[in-house]
């Protein structure tokens, strides 16, 4: 079914579902295409939960008639059977009330968005009469499935969507041909320290540059079993197999929550929260032996952070340390420490890490993005972490960049965010401080459908290469997320195949660019304009912070930066009263980017944001 200009689209949430992000994004997209859109208020949504009630039915019908709704969409992302049942009852009563076009009403198109299982149940009951969306569609796929004619899509939307769709088409070709299966492990040997206790990330990177080798592959793995001994035994088997096959360069040990928060204690019957339940130096040492020539790293602790860092040095010869600064504490439920004490321990750990000469990775930006932060905050938080690391004596900074976060982010926006972040942090480089880019796919980016997930992995690899498209040495390290992320934990076979897809896709995408068969994104005007906008906005924020926050790159300074509201997190769940100024901002997704907005939904420019924040920061400093 194709939409026409007179169509009005109405959207409502079923049940007690609080997921509104998808509805908001789709509404903005359709409005840009020129359609009238109305979103049901709380009263309408509540009424839809019990359409068998006559008063509720009348309320819903008045809404449909008032706005002359011709296309009706419903969203429910909780229990599949409940969602399918609610939707079925609503349609039954809308038929009875003659609201559907088949019996004389205005509603001629029906959409449903929900979890994959819910979509399957809805399709099984209603067939092609209802178009379903499971959440992993691109903006282009959404518009096509809803029925928006191509000529009604504005040029700027079309161009932005085309980049994402083109990468997906590239990925489909990679997976369809299957030639990635022939990609063999990269031989990283050739320097004397390789695979020895003296091997380091820096040595391996230097060898890579010298011999023009592909990026290092890092993967995070950790099986879950209820029995601690069985879990550790299985993990050692996985590590040995990964070492033997040779695809993985950097093993990232996915330890359990208890390993991070209560290492060395008697756990008794405490649940480990998933991951590898390592609880002794001997168990870490066994992992290091099983890893062979792979470099090894793991999560930081959530208390006694410096002590655990020293354990990793002693037992793993850890390739690099990763700390989350504001996170992994009471604020996100990942650790027992208050935020300020966590910052104190993190900076003490940074001082220790600097003394070992090992690199440091800031696990920061995506944690802000998970909680509704805008794109400026994503970049700013990474810069603050890098600046703090340099101040503490770190010499090699691993810049983790989680793309597709949120997953509704458009590719050209991801490129702009990445380039702005690199431009600002690279300014910190000198003879004593270097930056290593390590991009990765988003945590919830991948589809539950295997072939589509593999396609997405190849597509996001192309995105990584477009960050710095004419630098064949960038990225230096790729954090490969297993394509099974959307359905189950990655095992050895998934990790190895994911690396083959990533390496082959990178190689093939570069070949296509060199022959002019894919767009050279270094020349894309939209990316350049958005990058410049991000860089300018972040500079305004940095200047304000350094003007108003005493000693900003200390535990006290970093705490005050957050408390004053320089880093908005409107979706923060814990410690809301402590960080009310950070929670108080509103953000909105529009045209694939996240912006801070006012009550009317209008973007607030960074210059205005700092005026609103500086008074709070100065008041806190005076206090």
How confident is the model over 279-301, as pLDDT tens digits?
A: 999 999 999 999 999 999 999 99
State mean pLDDT over 344-365.
98
Residue 217: which pLDDT band, with cuts at 50, 70 and 90? Answer: very high
Closest of 349, 243, 361 to residue 305, by C-alpha? 349
* Mean pLDDT along residues 412-428: 98
Q: How confident is the model at residue 524 (pLDDT cuts 50, 70, 90)?
A: very high
Whether pLDDT at 620 is above 70: no
Crossing angle between the packed helical segments 339-356 and 555-564, to the nearest 10 degrees: 140
Crossing angle, helix 228-245 and helix 281-290, to 10 degrees? 30
Confidence check: pLDDT of 562 > 90: yes
Task: Provide the pLDDT confidence category of residue 74 given band limits of 50, 70 and 90.
Answer: very high
d(CA 374, CA 569): 8
Higher pLDDT, 236 or 27: 236
What tens digit of pLDDT does each residue of 490-507 get? 999 999 999 999 999 999
- pTM, two decimal places: 0.86
What whole-number percentage of the chain has pLDDT above 90? 79
pLDDT band with cut points at 50, 70 and 90 for residue 155? confident
Of the pLDDT bands very low, low, confident and very high (cuts 50, 70, 90), residue 589 is: confident
8 Å CB contact between 255 and 231: no
Nearest Cα neighbor of 260 from 282, 279, 287, 288 is 279
Average pLDDT in the 412-435 region?
A: 98
pLDDT tens digits for range 102-150: 989 999 999 999 888 999 999 999 999 999 988 778 777 888 888 999 8
pLDDT for position 16 = 58
Residue 206 is predicted with a pLDDT of 97
pLDDT of residue 310: 98
pLDDT tens across 446-466, in order? 998 999 999 999 999 999 999
> Could you tell me if 123 and 1 are in contact, meaning their C-beta atoms sit under 8 angstroms apart?
no
pLDDT at 573 over 90: no
Task: Say whether pLDDT at 252 is over 60.
Answer: yes
* pLDDT for res 19: 47
Residue 619 has pLDDT above 70, yes or no: no
- At 18 the pLDDT is 45
Higher-confidence residue of 141 and 49: namely 49
Q: Where are the domains of the chain?
A: 8-153
Q: For the chain, what percentages of helix, strand and coil (3-state, to nearest 5) are there?
A: 50, 15, 35
Topology (CATH level 3) of domain 8-153: Rossmann fold (3.40.50)
Q: How buried is 500 (Cβ within 10 angstroms: 0-12 exposed, 13-18 middle, 19+ buried)?
A: buried
Supply 332's token pair.
């996100």
pLDDT, tens digit, 9 for 90 and up, residues 301-324: 999 999 999 999 999 999 999 999
Which position has the higher pLDDT, 477 or 20? Answer: 477
Specify the pLDDT at position 192.
96
Task: Tell me how many degrees the CA angle 11-15-21 measures, rounded to the nearest 5.
Answer: 50
Is residue 273 scored above 80 in pLDDT? no
Distances (CA, A) of 173 to 144, 166, 520: 20, 11, 19
| Exposure string over 241-273, b if 16+ CB within 10 A, otherwise e | ebbeebbbbbbbbbbbbbbbbbbeeebeeeebe
Residue 622 has pLDDT above 70, yes or no: no
| pLDDT number for residue 623 | 46
Q: What is the mean pLDDT of the segment spanning 234-251?
A: 98
Whole-angstrom distance between the N-terminal and C-terminal Cα of the chain? 62
Q: Are the C-beta atoms of residues 616 and 581 closer than 8 Å to each other?
A: yes
Please report the sign of the dihedral spanned by the C-alpha atoms of residue 525, residue 531, residue 535, residue 541: positive
**pLDDT value at 56 more than 60:** yes
Q: Is the pLDDT of residue 548 over 60?
A: yes
Mean of pLDDT values over 604-614: 95
Distances (CA, A) of 304 to 275, 451, 494, 582: 20, 43, 34, 27
Task: Report residue 568 as tokens.
Answer: 């908005």
Question: In whole numbers, what is the pLDDT of the chain averaged over residues?
Answer: 93
Tokens found for residue 327? 């996170």
| Cα–Cα distance list, 73 to 69, 100, 136, 189, 364 (Å) | 10, 13, 17, 56, 36
Residue 211 has a pLDDT of 97
The confidence score (pLDDT) of residue 621 equals: 53
**H or E stretch at 119:** helix 116-126
| Minimum mean pLDDT range among 7-21, 171-185, 223-237, 268-282 | 7-21
For the cut 70, the answer to whether the pLDDT of residue 20 exceeds it is no
Task: Report the pLDDT averaged over residues 227-237.
Answer: 94
What percentage of the chain reaches a pLDDT higher than 70?
97
Whether the per-residue pLDDT at 405 is higher than 80: the answer is: yes
Q: Scanning the structure block, which residue is given the tokens 């169509």?
A: 7
| Nearest-angstrom CA–CA distance, 394 and 92 | 64
pLDDT of residue 156: 66
């Amino acid at each position: 079914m194709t939409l026409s200009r007179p169509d009005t689209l109405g959207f409502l949430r079923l049940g007690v579902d609080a997921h509104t992000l998808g509805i908001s994004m789709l509404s903005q997209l359709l409005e840009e295409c020129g359609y009238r859109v109305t979103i049901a208020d709380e009263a309408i949504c509540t009424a839809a939960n019990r359409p068998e009630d006559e008063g509720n039915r009348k309320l819903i019908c008045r809404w449909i008639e008032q706005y002359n709704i011709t296309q009706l969409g419903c969203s429910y992302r909780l229990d599949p059977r409940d969602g399918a049942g609610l939707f079925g009852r609503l349609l039954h009563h809308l038929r009875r009330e003659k609201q559907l076009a088949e019996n004389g009403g205005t509603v001629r198109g029906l959409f449903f968005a929900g979890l994959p299982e819910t979509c399957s149940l809805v399709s099984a009951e209603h067939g092609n009469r209802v178009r379903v969306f499971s959440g992993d569609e691109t903006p282009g796929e959404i518009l096509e499935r809803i029925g928006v004619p191509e000529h009604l899509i504005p040029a700027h939307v079309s161009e932005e969507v085309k980049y994402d769709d083109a990468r997906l088409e590239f990925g489909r070709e990679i997976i369809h041909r299957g030639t990635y299966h022939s990609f063999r492990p990269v031989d990283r040997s050739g320097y004397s320290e390789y695979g020895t206790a003296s091997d380091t990330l820096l040595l391996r990177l230097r060898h890579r540059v010298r011999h023009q080798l592909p990026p290092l592959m890092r993967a995070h793995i950790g099986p879950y079993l209820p029995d601690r001994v069985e879990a550790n035994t299985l993990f050692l088997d996985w590590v040995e197999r990964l070492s033997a096959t040779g695809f993985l360069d950097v093993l990232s040990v996915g330890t359990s929550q208890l390993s991070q928060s209560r290492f060395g204690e008697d756990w008794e019957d405490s649940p480990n929260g998933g991951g590898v339940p390592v609880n002794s130096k001997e168990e870490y040492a066994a992992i290091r032996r099983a890893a062979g020539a792979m470099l090894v790293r793991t999560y930081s602790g959530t208390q006694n952070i410096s002590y655990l860092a020293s354990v990793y040095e002693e037992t793993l010869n850890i390739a690099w340390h990763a700390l989350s600064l504001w996170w992994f504490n009471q604020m996100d439920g990942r650790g027992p420490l208050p935020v300020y004490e966590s910052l104190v321990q993190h900076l003490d750990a940074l001082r220790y890490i600097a003394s070992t000469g090992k690199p440091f990775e800031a696990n920061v930006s995506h944690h802000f993005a998970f909680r509704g932060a805008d794109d400026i905050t994503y970049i700013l938080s990474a810069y603050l972490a890098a600046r703090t690391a340099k101040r503490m004596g770190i010499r090699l900074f691993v810049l983790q960049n989680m793309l597709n976060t949120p997953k509704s982010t458009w590719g050209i926006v991801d490129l702009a965010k990445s380039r702005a972040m690199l431009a600002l942090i690279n300014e910190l480089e000198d003879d004593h401080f270097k930056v290593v880019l390590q991009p990765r796919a988003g945590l919830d980016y991948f589809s539950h459908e295997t072939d589509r997930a593999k396609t997405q992995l190849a597509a996001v690899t192309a995105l990584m290469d477009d960050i710095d498209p004419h630098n064949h040495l960038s990225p230096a390290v790729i954090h490969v997320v297993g394509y099974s992320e959307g359905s189950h934990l990655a095992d050895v076979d998934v990790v190895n195949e994911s690396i083959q897809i990533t390496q082959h896709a990178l190689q093939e995408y570069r070949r296509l660019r060199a022959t002019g068969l894919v767009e050279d994104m270094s020349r894309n005007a939209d990316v350049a304009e958005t990058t410049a906008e991000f860089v300018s906005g972040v500079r305004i924020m940095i200047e304000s912070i350094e003007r108003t926050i005493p000693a900003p790159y200390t535990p006290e300074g970093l705490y005050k930066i957050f408390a004053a509201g320089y880093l908005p997190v409107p979706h923060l769940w814990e410690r809301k009263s402590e960080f009310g100024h950070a929670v108080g901002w509103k953000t909105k997704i529009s045209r694939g980017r996240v912006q801070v907005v006012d009550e009317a939904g209008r973007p607030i420019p960074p210059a205005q944001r700092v005026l609103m924040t500086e008074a709070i920061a100065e008041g806190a400093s005076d206090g």
